[in-house]
Amino acid sequence: MRSTYDPDRDSLMIDLSDGYVEEAVSTRICDVDFGSGVVALFLDRDEKLLGISIMGLSGVVPSVVMDSLRE
């Protein structure tokens, strides 16, 4: 498992599949009340979870978390 923060998109990708997240065949947008954030789930053919993306991350996590991601 690894995570990657993209500051240009303000998104965090959590890859649960050791690089296979690119093979996702479907994406589900989760209905969560984050205000400005969006959560997407990346699934394989068997509907198994490969990765999670949180977009608008800086609006939904504490600044101390953002500071650690930028280091």
Long-range Cβ contacts of 40-45 (<8 Å, 24+ apart): 44/17, 44/20
The reported pLDDT for the residue numbered 18 is: 84
34-48 burial code (b ≥16 CB/10 A, e <16): eeebbbbbbbbeeee
The reported pLDDT for the residue numbered 55 is: 93
Mean local confidence (pLDDT), 31-57? 89
pTM to 2 decimal places: 0.84
Query: Quick one: DSSP state of residue 66?
Result: H
**pLDDT tens-digit map of 6-32:** 999 999 999 999 888 888 899 999 888
The reported pLDDT for the residue numbered 21 is: 84
Rounded to whole angstroms, the Cα distance separating 59 from 30 reads 16
**Burial (CB count within 10 angstroms: exposed 0-12, middle 13-18, buried 19+), residue 51:** buried
- How many structural domains does the chain have? 1
Domain extent, residue 41, equals 2-70
